Amino acid sequence: MSLEAIYPADRVTLREVGLRDGLQLAKAVPSTEAKRAWLKAEAAAGVRHYEVGSFLPAARFPQFADIHEIISASGALGLHSAGLTLNERGAEAAIATAIREMVCVVSATEAHSEANARRSRAAAVELVGKVAALRNERAPDKLVNAGIAMAFGCSLSGNVDPAEVLRLAEACLAAGADIVGLADTVGYAGPRAVGALCAQMHRLCGNRPFIIHLHDTRGLGLANAAAALDNGARVVDASLGGLGGCPFAPGATGNVVFEDVVFLAESMGFPTGIDLEALTPARAIAEEALPGESFHGALHRAGPPTNANWQATA
Amino acid sequence: MSLEAIYPADRVTLREVGLRDGLQLAKAVPSTEAKRAWLKAEAAAGVRHYEVGSFLPAARFPQFADIHEIISASGALGLHSAGLTLNERGAEAAIATAIREMVCVVSATEAHSEANARRSRAAAVELVGKVAALRNERAPDKLVNAGIAMAFGCSLSGNVDPAEVLRLAEACLAAGADIVGLADTVGYAGPRAVGALCAQMHRLCGNRPFIIHLHDTRGLGLANAAAALDNGARVVDASLGGLGGCPFAPGATGNVVFEDVVFLAESMGFPTGIDLEALTPARAIAEEALPGESFHGALHRAGPPTNANWQATA
């Protein structure tokens, strides 16, 4: 499938990252059955795009040991599945599966690149190129996604120059990535910084959509999502109940809350195709499967406005 | 003091409403001593503007029975104090005190006006005129503030026409109000609606600042505050820890969180003059005085970004 068919440039797509980012630091490992039920319930609410795990050694990352089963389950439900390929071995593993999108990570700062992946930024961009070459050769239908971590500030290096982020984004596209993401990995961003960088990304990418990945660490996740949508971002990562954290962001509340992003996007006039009420059973499954985690979200608590039109008209 | 001296049009002012809006539905009544300590601690962090209570019968509203003591305490600390005057008796009581701002409420919808205040919107605007006349005669130094409740949607009447809100704002200014506020009383607003109405208010008010009062009921409080600041709002209501609720908004989380609004404003380039770390002792006092309430806030949990410049330069 083409990029345009999967991420249409003229509408907003929400990507559920809870089964990947949300499980990264989770205390419990949900059963494969629970993951399948979660996927099925969330798909029934209209969610089509999922990060389903990471291609990492099962012994050290038991939460992703069943990634093959989850890819199968996504395929059976007709969903778009993405998985992290953080090294060549991961890419080799991914290419042999039916996963539809391979996600590489490039850090915006040298310090985080070395601390997180033990490689330089240049080597990370090179890996994007290798994954794209592998895809071209053996699985031309898969997408290659390059996410730029720490794009709005780094807990190790402090301020990040937006020009550096744009340079890396351009290098990833030149290396063969189909789509690039900007990640506020540690929740440093404010809406003006997000708006300004998204506007520049929009110019860089032209008709090609780009992804915004936000954490609500300091309460500005939704404000930043609004600024991103106002400035050309059309793909927004989020997780049910805001599940997730980051080893570099102590006290982080996780990704922006999926339900709240649906409400935000609709309120801004972007139809999401997602039935908010139908997300509740999916959330209940995730909560049951992850007893040690906090689930957040204002919309879930308060419900949508009564008596008023809040949904965007398609 | 003139409006310009209290709410300068060229900078952002945050109004702490916790001692009024935050106590409206609180289960416990904080002692006068606790309120004084809270004020003193928050003033030490640089917060200058406070709603300190409502002029209501002490028998039915014990949380505001000590409003005279709190006005004195504010005065002694050199703070700007505001109090709700919801009827003529309240205005008479206020005028005899040293309170610096009298706040009237006008509902955007007839249904909420009748349900909340048992008067029509026209009668509410008339009351603004009476309070202003009283002020002109007997206390020309006090400000008159008219807050428009349900300005972005009403739990009783549904959608609210922005033109109606602007008409009421204009009527309040014509009746003698110095400053008008727009309140998302039940948390129905999204950032585009807030941005659009604030832009129109900005045109209506010219050089005169206006207030935005937001609740974080559905997670969009900070996104809405960002949109308001982007579109000319320069006075933002908030409460420490997001204290507060609304009888018309079940499940409401209260006002937008003061600490998070400080971080937002600074991130957008507006210096607030507020020391975030120094807010922590104030919050501890409020939490101890209100054992039954939930205190929220991402910034308080995660702390400001380390290693990076996040404060606006004055």
- Report yes or no on B203 lying in a domain: yes
Query: Which segment of A233-247, B40-54, B236-250 scores lowest on mean pLDDT?
Result: B236-250
pLDDT of the residue at B27: 86
User: A308 to chain B nearest CA, in Å?
Assistant: 4
* pLDDT above 80 for A107: yes
Dist. CA A58–CA B281, nearest whole Å:
46
Q: A63-100 burial string, b = 16+ CB within 10 Å, else e?
A: bbbbbbebbebbeebebbbbbbbbbeebbebbbebebb
Residue A119 belongs to a domain with what CATH number?
Answer: 3.20.20.70
- Only one residue has tokens 């910084």, namely A193
Mutate to test the interface with B, among A155, A157, A188, A218 (most CBs of B within 10 A): A218
* pLDDT above 60 for A250: no
pLDDT of the residue at B247: 59
SS (H, E, C) chain B: CCHHHHCCCCCCEEEECCCCHHHHCCCCCCCHHHHHHHHHHHHHCCCCEEEEEECCCCCCCHHHCCHHHHHHHHHHCCCEEEEECCCHHHHHHHHCCCCCEEEEEEECCHHHHHHHHCCCHHHHHHHHHHHHHHHHHHCCCCEEEEEEECECEECCCECCCHHHHHHHHHHHHHCCCCEEEEEECCCCCCHHHHHHHHHHHHHHHCCCCCEEEEECCCCCHHHHHHHHHHCCCCEEEEEHHHCCCCCCCCCCCCECEHHHHHHHHHHCCCCCCCCHHHHHHHHHHHHHHCCCCCCCCHHHHHCCCCCCCCCCCC
* pLDDT above 90 for A34: yes
pLDDT of the residue at A233: 98
Of A155, A191, A302, which is closest to B218 when you measure between CB atoms? A302
Q: Which two tokens stand for residue A302?
A: 């308060």
Q: Residue A80 in contact with residue A6, Cβ under 8 Å? A: yes
Residues 6 or more apart whose CB falls under 8 angstroms from that of A167 comprise none
Inspect the interface and report whether the beta carbons of A307 and B155 lie closer than 8 Å.
yes
Inspect the interface and report whether the beta carbons of A260 and B189 lie closer than 8 Å.
no
- Report yes or no on B95 lying in a domain: yes
Q: Which two tokens stand for residue A138?
A: 């053996």
Dist. CA A184–CA A215, nearest whole Å:
6
Of B155, B222, B308, which is closest to A220 when you measure between CB atoms? B222
pLDDT of the residue at B314: 73
Dist. CA A288–CA A286, nearest whole Å:
5
Task: List CB contacts (< 8 A) between B266 and chain A.
Answer: 190
Q: How many domains does chain A have?
A: 1
Mutate to test the interface with B, among A188, A220, A239, A300 (most CBs of B within 10 A): A220
Dist. CA A194–CA A29, nearest whole Å:
33
102-161 in chain A: CB under 8 A from chain B: 153-159
Residue B205: active-site member: no
pLDDT of the residue at A188: 95
pLDDT of the residue at A308: 86
Q: What is the mean pLDDT of residues B224-244?
A: 97
Task: List CB contacts (< 8 A) between B218 and chain A.
Answer: 260, 263, 298-299, 302, 304-305
Q: What is the mean pLDDT of residues A194-210?
A: 97
Average pLDDT, chain A: 95
Q: What chain A residue is nearest to B156 in terms of C-alpha separation? A: A307
Inspect the interface and report whether the beta carbons of B305 and A156 lie closer than 8 Å.
no
Task: List CB contacts (< 8 A) between A250 and chain B.
Answer: 302
- Report yes or no on B308 lying in a domain: no
Q: Which residues pair with A103 in a beta bridge?
A: A84, A145
Chain B contact present for A252, CB below 8 A: yes
**Cα A304 to chain centroid, rounded:** 24
- Report yes or no on A5 lying in a domain: no
pLDDT of the residue at B313: 87
Task: List CB contacts (< 8 A) between A218 and chain B.
Answer: 260, 263, 298-299, 302, 304-305
Inspect the interface and report whether the beta carbons of B307 and A187 lie closer than 8 Å.
no
DSSP structure class, residue A312:
P
Tell me the C-alpha to C-alpha distance, in Å, between residue B218 and each of A147, A256, A302, B107, B199.
29, 13, 6, 21, 23
Dist. CA B213–CA B229, nearest whole Å:
12
pLDDT of the residue at B249: 56
- When pLDDT is cut at 50, 70 and 90, the band that residue A118 belongs to is very high
Burial of A176 (0-12, 13-18, 19+ CB in 10 A): middle
- Report yes or no on B307 lying in a domain: no
**Cα A55 to chain centroid, rounded:** 15
| Cα-based angle B211, B213, B216 (whole degrees, multiple of 5) | 155
Instruction: For residue range B113-165, list pLDDT tens digits in order.
Output: 999 999 999 999 999 999 999 999 999 999 999 999 999 999 999 999 999 99
Inspect the interface and report whether the beta carbons of A307 and B249 lie closer than 8 Å.
no
Percentage of chain A lying above the pLDDT 90 cut: 90
Q: A105-122 burial string, b = 16+ CB within 10 Å, else e?
A: bbbbbeebbebbbebebe
Q: What chain A residue is nearest to B152 in terms of C-alpha separation? A: A308
Average pLDDT, chain B: 95
Inspect the interface and report whether the beta carbons of B222 and A218 lie closer than 8 Å.
no
pLDDT of the residue at A166: 98
Task: List CB contacts (< 8 A) between A308 and chain B.
Answer: 153-154, 158-159, 188
- Report yes or no on A301 lying in a domain: no
Instruction: For residue range A276-294, list pLDDT tens digits in order.
Output: 999 999 999 999 999 988 8
DSSP structure class, residue A106:
E
Dist. CA B254–CA A210, nearest whole Å:
34
- Domain range spanning residue A68? 13-295
Task: List CB contacts (< 8 A) between B268 and chain A.
Answer: 190-192
Mutate to test the interface with B, among A150, A222, A231, A306 (most CBs of B within 10 A): A222
Q: What is the mean pLDDT of residues A128-145?
A: 98
- Which is it for strands A80-84 and B49-54: parallel, antiparallel or unpaired? unpaired
pLDDT of the residue at A244: 86
Of A159, A268, A302, which is closest to B217 when you measure between CB atoms? A302
Q: What chain B residue is nearest to A253 in terms of C-alpha separation? A: B298
- When pLDDT is cut at 50, 70 and 90, the band that residue A179 belongs to is very high
Task: List CB contacts (< 8 A) between A230 and chain B.
Answer: 191
* pLDDT above 80 for A251: no
- When pLDDT is cut at 50, 70 and 90, the band that residue B292 belongs to is confident
Of A156, A191, A222, which is closest to B220 when you measure between CB atoms? A222
pLDDT of the residue at A259: 98
**CA nearest B69: which of B49, B89, B83?**
B83
Q: Which two tokens stand for residue B184?
A: 């998302």
- Report yes or no on A4 lying in a domain: no
pLDDT of the residue at B248: 60
253-292 in chain B: CB under 8 A from chain A: 253, 257, 260, 263-264, 266-269
Q: Residue A195 in contact with residue A184, Cβ under 8 Å? A: no
Residues 6 or more apart whose CB falls under 8 angstroms from that of A97 comprise A67, A68, A71, A83
